[in-house]
Amino acid sequence: MKSKHIVFVHGLFGWGPDELLGLPYWGKATQQFNSEKFNVHEASCGPVSSFHDRACEVYAQIKGTRVDYGEKHSQDEKHARFSDDFTQKPFVEKWSAENPVILIGHSAGAQTCMQLQQLLADKFWGGDTSADWIEAIVCVAGVINGSTLPYMLGCDKKSGFLTGPVGNFIGIGVQMLGGLNRGLTRNLFDWDLEQWVGSETTDLRAFIKALENSQFAKGKDNLAYDLTLQGCQEANKRFKTNKNSYYLSVVTEQTFGIGPFKRELPSLFMNPVLAGGAFYQAAVVDFDGIKPDIEGWETGDLTIDQWRENDGAVSSISQRYPFTASNHSPGKEGFLGGETIEKGTWYYERAEKSTGKSFDHLDVVFGYQSEPLGGMVEAHQKLYSEINTLLCKLP
What is the identity of the amino acid at 75? Q
CA distance 114 to 122: 12
Map residue 306 onto helix, strand or coil.
helix
DSSP letter for 284, please. I
Q: Is the pLDDT of residue 247 over 50?
A: yes
Of 112-126, 173-187, 238-252, 362-376, the least confident: 173-187
Position 150 scores a pLDDT of 95
Find, among 144, 148, 113, the residue nearest to 233 by Cα: 144
Q: What angle do CA 82, 84, 89 make, to 5 degrees?
A: 125
The pTM of this model reads 0.95
Map residue 198 onto helix, strand or coil.
coil
Residue 244's domain comprises: 5-393
Assign 373 a pLDDT band (cuts: 50, 70, 90): low
C-alpha 107: how far from chain center: 3
CB 93 within 8 Å of CB 83: no
CA distance 250 to 266: 19
Position 209 scores a pLDDT of 81
**Rounded mean pLDDT, 75-94:** 97
Q: What is the dihedral of CA 178, 179, 185, 189, to 10 degrees?
A: 40
Q: Is the pLDDT of residue 181 over 60?
A: no
Instruction: Please enumerate in sequence order all residues whose Cβ is within 8 A of that of 50, keeping only pairs 6 or more positions apart, or say none.
Output: 220, 221, 222, 223, 225, 226
Assign 207 a pLDDT band (cuts: 50, 70, 90): confident
**Full DSSP string of 25-40:** TTTTSGGGS-TTT-EE
CA distance 391 to 278: 32
Instruction: Please enumerate in sequence order all residues whose Cβ is within 8 A of that of 369, keeping only pairs 6 or more positions apart, or say none.
Output: 27, 376, 377
268-273 contacts, C-beta under 8 A, 24 or more apart: 269/358, 269/360, 269/371, 269/372, 269/373, 270/312, 270/360, 271/312, 271/360, 271/361, 271/362, 271/363, 271/367, 271/370, 273/176, 273/312, 273/362, 273/367
Report the chain's C-alpha Rg in angstroms: 20
Position 327 scores a pLDDT of 72
**Rounded mean pLDDT, 32-49:** 96
**Rounded mean pLDDT, 105-111:** 99
Residue-wise pLDDT for 316-351, tens only, equals 999 999 999 877 788 999 999 999 999 999 999 999
Instruction: Please enumerate in sequence order all residues whose Cβ is within 8 A of that of 36, keeping only pairs 6 or more positions apart, or say none.
Output: none
Map residue 269 onto helix, strand or coil.
coil
Q: Is the pLDDT of residue 93 over 90?
A: yes
Number of domains making up the chain = 1
User: E strands within 178-254?
Assistant: 246-251
Map residue 367 onto helix, strand or coil.
helix
For residue 209, give the CATH number of its domain: 3.40.50.1820
Percent of the chain predicted with pLDDT > 90: 77
CA distance 331 to 294: 20
